[in-house]
Amino acid sequence: MNLKKFYNKKKILITGHTGFKGSWLVHWLSRYNVQIMGISLRYESKLSLFKFISKKKLIDKRFDIANYKKLEKNVLKFKPDIVYHLAAQSLVKESVINPLKTFTTNIIGTANVLSCLNKLEKKTISVIVTSDKCYENLKLLRGYSEDDRLGGHDPYSASKASAEIVFKSYFNSILKKNKKIRIATARAGNVIGGGDWSLNRLVPDCIRAWSLNNEVKIRNPNSTRPWQHVLEPLSGYITLSYYLKKNKNINGASFNFGPKISEVATVKKVLQISQKYWKGSKFKFYREKFFKEDPLLRLNSIKAQKILKWKKILSLEKTLQLTMAWYNDFYKNKIRVSDLLNRDINYFLNLKKKILND
Ligand SMILES: NC(=O)c1ccc[n+]([C@@H]2O[C@H](COP(=O)([O-])OP(=O)(O)OC[C@H]3O[C@@H](n4cnc5c(N)ncnc54)[C@H](O)[C@@H]3O)[C@@H](O)[C@H]2O)c1
């Protein structure tokens, strides 16, 4: 996969560019000869990865994607070649507190993006990011495949399932007829990596407490999740956009990007491994009464492996080792964030080359 050639002189639109995945993606794609437009909300938390990344190739736009007029004006003016739609209210707990905002951003926002793409008079490749939580959780051990039933017990999951349904209907009745558009959705699991300071996520909660030498209180130790390093789904989105250009048969499809079923781990296991890489880390468990999360979530990514030749590269141990090293070097050794990001991206790409010969 020659990414240098694929991205050469391309205009890339990234919605949600100030978020955790968006910041890593902007940093990664800025290594190529590209121009990037990012669209996100104005608000950023005090400590956010975006503050530290290079913005040399970025046009930084801040408004709500639910504002169709503004979105259309900016997208039609920029005329992107490639689009990664990541903007979302991405937290389950927040979705229970603020369901309307979650539905508006994740469902209407996605419909707005699709509408703008259809108006672009230009060849465009787009990846619409939803989630592993879009599946109706039947506590299946075999892992969810792309054709499994959609559903959601909480507003976040329901909003992502709805975004998938909006996408399918839009594609089948409108976008399919538009010969300029190649588009697909991507469903990935929980991501881990340096620079996430979101609330109510396992690793960021640990780091917030451990960096102050505090004990972290953790809910649901036996919940399992398809944990993976943030670079894994990002490489999935990149690979998907690359193959969308080459293979028209995947236009309108959906792809899972997750670890193997055998690699899915409990919260407790993640904590035990993390402890090895953060000196003096302590945790204790409590029972969450406010809201219930689905305890078991597994993804089947065989379709991405077969059609896109995508493969998860890093073991859970290596993922947590890299992540803890990132935060250690940030807090204790005061190493520059762009150096930390480059170090992990280089390591990941070299390993990928060795494993996949690509
Ligand atoms: N982080 C995970 O573990 C995970 C797992 C599965 C799927 N996802 C999905 O991946 C995508 C990126 O996740 P993340 O972890 O980077 O999320 P994040 O919460 O860190 O970032 C969300 C981004 O979306 C932007 N945004 C939110 N509402 C918006 C609105 N109304 N208008 C414009 N911009 C808006 C924010 O400003 C921010 O840039 C999301 O679609 C998320 O649902 C994330």
Rg (CA), the chain: 19
What DSSP letter does each residue of 281-320 carry, written as one string? -EEEEE---S----S---B--HHHHHHH-----S-HHHHH
Render each residue's pLDDT in the chain as its tens digit; 358 residues. 899 999 999 999 999 999 999 999 999 999 999 999 999 999 877 789 999 998 999 999 999 999 999 999 999 999 999 999 999 999 988 999 999 999 999 999 999 999 999 999 899 999 999 999 999 988 777 889 999 999 999 999 999 999 999 999 999 999 999 999 999 999 998 899 999 998 888 999 999 999 999 999 888 888 888 899 999 999 999 999 999 999 999 999 999 999 887 777 888 999 999 999 998 888 888 776 666 666 556 789 999 999 999 999 999 999 999 999 999 999 999 999 999 999 999 999 999 988 877 6
- Cα of 147 vs centre of ligand 1, distance in Å, is 24
Which CATH number describes the domain made up of 3-356?
3.40.50.720
Where are the domains positioned within the chain? 3-356
- Give the integer Cα–Cα distance in Å for 285 and 300: 29
- Cα of 271 vs centre of ligand 1, distance in Å, is 24
The pTM for the full model equals: 0.94
- Which residues make Cβ contacts (< 8 Å) with residue 165, sequence separation at least 6? 150
Residue bearing the CA closest to ligand 1, atom 8: 131
- Which residues make Cβ contacts (< 8 Å) with residue 271, sequence separation at least 6? 202, 206, 218, 221, 283
Residue bearing the CA closest to ligand 1, atom 11: 86
- Cα of 19 vs centre of ligand 1, distance in Å, is 6
Residue bearing the CA closest to ligand 1, atom 19: 90
Mutational test site, ligand 1, from 20, 90, 131, max ligand atoms within 8 Å of CB: 90
